[in-house]
Amino acid sequence: MNTSGNRYSMSPIHLYFVLYVSLVGVGLMNFQYKMLRGAEKDGWISILAAAVLISIILKMMFVLLSRQSPGQSSLVHINQRYWGRIAGSVLNWIFILYFLLGAFVAYRSYIHIIQLWILPTQNNLLLGIVVLLLVYYCVSGGIQSVTGMCLWGTIFILVFVFPQTFLVTSYLHPRNLLPVLDHNVTSLWLSTRDMLHEFIGCGTLLVVYPYIKTPGRSLKWAYLALATATIVYLVFFIYSFMYFNHGQMKEHLWPTLSLISIIEMPLIQRMEYLVLSFWLLKVLSIITLGLWAACHCLKMERSIKPSLGLKLAIVLFAVLLFVVKDTVDIDMVTELYTRTGEILILLYVPLLFIISLVRKNMGGSDGHEDMLGQPKGEEA
Amino acid sequence: MNSPVNDNQHKSNTPHDPLDPCRRSDDFVMSTMTVSGLAFEVCYYKTLVDSHLLEVAIHSLQERIPSSEEVNLHDVLSHIPIEETKVTDQDEEMVQSLLQGSLLIRPCGQIHEVILVPMPGKEGVRSDNDTENEFSVIGPKVGFVEALPVNLHLIRTQLRTPNLIIKEMTLGSLSQSQVAILYMDGIAHPENVSRMEDRLKGIDFDAVLDTSQLDQLIADNSLTPFPLFTTTERRDRVIYALITGQVAVISEGSPSFITGPSTLFDFFVSPEDYYLPWALGSFFRLIRIFGVIFSLFASALYVALMTFHYEVIPKELLGKLISSRQNVPFPPFVEAIFLETTIEFLREAGARLPNRIGQTLGIVGGIILGQAAVEAALTSNVLIIIVSLSALASFVTPIYKMSNAIRFLRFPIIILAAIWGAFGIAIGLCFLLVHLSRLKSLGSPYMAPFYPMRFRDLKDSLIRASYEQTVKRPSYLRPLSFIRYKPGRIHQTNQLDEE
């Protein structure tokens, strides 16, 4: 890897893996179930609609970030510059908590599923701590090992899990999806919103962006990641709705797992045991990315050493593992996360985008025309 | 070396004779000879010098030195027909040079200016230099021996370019071993070269016995089971490493080079891949990688499935599995550890025993023991198959150090599988992947070209693309010039078009 100065920078292609990991979360296992309260079998429209909205948000993020002067193109700086020290700090803390919460939701739901599905007799303390050790080992390696983990997480899903789904093809009932479009706009919007919740992890882009070597050329990788995520969601949606009819779907809390469980291969069946276990790679990449983003923001905001922040976060997770005990608690935390994410990503980012446009037009101090990289903002 | 010797009995001992420390050893010869009326002292270690050259030197000294009153060492020097003979007045250098196998000549009574005639003996070096451990069916079988000059000669004869730079240094406070750093000027990135040099210079070690010790001393991370530098005894391998921009290091007395920066995939590359058609080369390389993955996870998967996830095995197979271990009184974990340990015993004994006994032992251990273990219901047939297959598969890596790492890593993964089943294996895999992503070899990422992803370099990692494709050197080595060669196109005429 080419080190520019003393700092690690990643080639644009790694943005693909980072964003894919951010966009596809643990929700991939049960998003179909959530569809039932909204668009049901018309959910594919919601998925597409959500993807379009997210692509707009991504574009906004890119425009917003590329308008900043070179050294300042990170979330923490933007917040401080646009809102002043105090309000900016408050916003930064909200984002830090939001990233932590995202990592924790992934962590807790995964441990929960593992316990329910594969290791019902095991003590979740030990499980949780071992996973936390892994997380610590990974995040302490800095962004290198985090993006590395994102790479493996992505490859794992796309190469080992995703293709297996097609083995179900012969059992499908395409008529389950018919008639098309018999839901009203309200229920479609309800599902679109649910799908947007799956995608809100993309906020990590705001933190990762300064590390990209050639940010200008990386938008296409971001879109490609979004396209891949959309296709993965679509395929799992279509396959599970074609396989289960409406009544059956209500009985399956994790339709994706139920779908995978019917696959039979010569040496192996009940694939979901293996898939769920090795899903750890994917979940680990989500957790580490979130934790890294939080620690990184903490460092920039309060100049607290990332290693200290990381240790605190790990302890916090271990404590929260006990506080958040059952499905109800997890749902509550998830709800909190999605609500915050909704506001931060879907409302706050467009707001920032507009501000950056306005400031530009007012001859403001965004300073991107200053090619020498002298920050001219009021903070500088 | 400078420790003053106090028992000054000898006549030449004015305050201190630089050669005193050497005298204590019985193989140190110090005799006086008189030539044309002049008395010379001739000193050498008889265990270090070449007796033939010694004879030549003494002979020429006796014959050719004209009689004269004054002793001018430079005159004497010109009469000795041996290269690199020199005059010195450095005490340090005298002793050092004696220990490197030189003959020391000094006029009696004049102890601070001497002639040094290098004549290192070449005994003890094996004469055949076939590869001992890294075999290939096709391609040269030339390997290295335990003598540095011979090894450097072997490299030079295949890279006849002034751009091949050899830098020598002395390492080891006791062994004083020569260590050579080789690289191609204009290809290898200067940072890699200087990094290697700095790290080697920074070493303080007593006796360098093999290049692999240097490998560990200069490694970026000493807490890893993975070898961070490629160790090889094959000439073609070192040359390939040099022309792609790596830096090679060898120490005196070692038959193997280390080359770096290495990546994980370098350890799955056999020079043979490049001698076979690319499709075959690629296929064999994939087989090797599959073999290693199988070897890492097969026994662990058995333990996981038999302990936790019976459901995963189809019922036709499950019946066989259960009947094969219905009499086995242990849990799968104990069974697997028992067999894996047996295999390790066999391997370790096989590596230490002389060839012929080794074969016998292989038969006794492999066939009789295995058969008996099954009959005694200590283990199941299926596990024997799995364990021996994975032992076999661990040896497919062309570099021995990597197969050691693989075999070592099997055990923690089996233990994890026994605790958490497939989830435990996943944890092991994650630890491995994170660890590999963090590893660096000479400052370059170890997982390249996968992580960081370099599309162009993938052509020669998992697979070996055709020579038309691999025109450029891999970019993770940051070579100064990228183009290796220009692929010539052989004009093919289509037979149908011919009139």
**Cβ-Cβ contacts under 8 Å, B454 against chain A:** 11
| The token pair that represents B336 in the structure block | 């697997």
Give the number of A-B residue pairs with CB atoms closer than 8 Å. Answer: 107
**Residue A4 falls within a domain, yes or no?**
no
Candidate from B309, B430, B450 with C-beta closest to A134: B430
Q: Do A119 and B451 touch (CB under 8 A)?
A: no
> Radius of gyration of chain A from Cα atoms?
21
- Determine whether the interchain pair A273/B437 forms a contact, defined as Cβ–Cβ distance below 8 Å: no
| Global ipTM | 0.90
Give the pLDDT confidence score for residue B405 in this predicted structure: 93
Domain segments of chain B: what residues? 20-118, 148-262, 276-445
pLDDT(B238) > 90:
yes
Q: CA of A277, closest CA in chain B: separation in Å?
A: 4
- Report DSSP letters for A117-175, one per residue: HT-TTS-HHHHHHHHHHHHHHHHTTHHHHHHHHHHHHHHIIIIIIHHHHGGGGGG--GG
Domain enclosing residue A233, as ranges: 12-361
Most confident range (mean pLDDT) of A119-133, A159-173, B306-320, B424-438 is B424-438
Q: Which two tokens stand for residue A370?
A: 């200053």
CB-nearest partner of B434 from A130, A141, A279: A141
Contact yes or no for A269 and B429 at CB 8 A: no
Task: Answer yes or no: do A148 and B433 touch at CB < 8 A.
Answer: yes
Q: With cut-offs at 50, 70 and 90, classify the pLDDT of residue A11.
A: confident
Instruction: Provide the phi-psi class of B124: left if phi over 0, else alpha when psi is between -120 and 50, else beta.
Output: left
Residue A5 falls within a domain, yes or no? no
Percent of chain B with pLDDT over 70: 93
pLDDT in tens, B44-102: 998 888 888 888 888 887 776 666 656 677 777 777 788 888 888 888 888 888 888 88
- Which residues does B contribute to its contact with A (CB < 8 Å)? 308-309, 311-314, 317, 420-423, 425-427, 429-431, 433-438, 445, 447, 450-455, 476, 478
Say which of B430, B445, B447 has its CB closest to residue A284: B430
CATH assignment at residue A333: 1.20.1740.10
Q: How far is A371 from chain B (nearest CA, A)?
A: 28
| Residue pLDDT, tens place only, B465-482 | 888 888 889 888 889 988
Mutate to test the interface with A, among B297, B306, B434, B456 (most CBs of A within 10 A): B434
Res B320: pLDDT: 87
Q: Which of A130, A141, A271 sits opposite B427 (nearest CB)?
A: A130
pLDDT digits over B367-386, tens only?
888 888 888 888 888 899 99
CA B341 – CA B290 distance, rounded (Å)? 23
Sign of CA dihedral B448, B452, B453, B455: negative
**Mean pLDDT (whole number) for B127-138:** 83
Q: Is residue A245 part of a domain?
A: yes
Of the candidates B188, B212, B161, which has an alpha carbon nearest to the alpha carbon of residue B400? Answer: B212
Which long-range contacts does B415-419 make (Cβ < 8 Å, 24+ apart)?
Answer: B415/B333, B416/B300, B417/B300, B417/B301, B417/B303, B417/B304, B417/B307, B417/B333, B418/B303, B418/B304, B418/B307, B418/B331, B418/B332, B418/B333
Percent of chain A with pLDDT over 90: 39
Residue B493 pLDDT greater than 80, yes or no: no
Res A159: pLDDT: 87
Judging by beta carbons within 10 Å of its beta carbon (0-12, 13-18, 19+), is residue B337 exposed, middle or buried? middle
> What is the least distance, in Å, from the CA of A112 to any CA of chain B?
13
Mean predicted confidence (pLDDT) in B401-412: 92
What pLDDT is recorded for position B356? 79
Instruction: Note the helical H segments in chain A.
Output: 12-23, 31-35, 43-66, 75-117, 124-139, 142-155, 162-165, 185-199, 205-208, 219-243, 246-249, 255-261, 272-278, 280-302, 306-323, 327-341, 349-361
pLDDT tens by residue, A338-375:
999 999 999 999 999 999 888 876 654 444 443 333 34
The alpha carbon of residue A265 is apart from the nearest alpha carbon of chain B, in Å, by: 8
Mean pLDDT of B480-493: 79
| Residue showing tokens 């790679």 | A281
Residue A325 counted as domain residue: yes
Mutation for A interface: B223, B415, B442, B451, most A CBs within 10 A: B451
A370, part of any domain: no
A249 has a pLDDT exceeding 80: yes
Residues of A within an 8 Å Cβ radius of B: 1-2, 10-11, 13-14, 114, 118-119, 122, 127, 130-131, 134, 137-138, 141, 144-145, 147-149, 151-152, 264, 266-271, 273-274, 277-281, 284
- Interchain proximity B314–A269, CB inside 8 Å: yes
Confidence at residue A57, expressed as pLDDT on a 0 to 100 scale? 94
User: How many domains in chain A?
Assistant: 1
Asked whether the predicted pLDDT for residue B7 surpasses 50, the reply is no
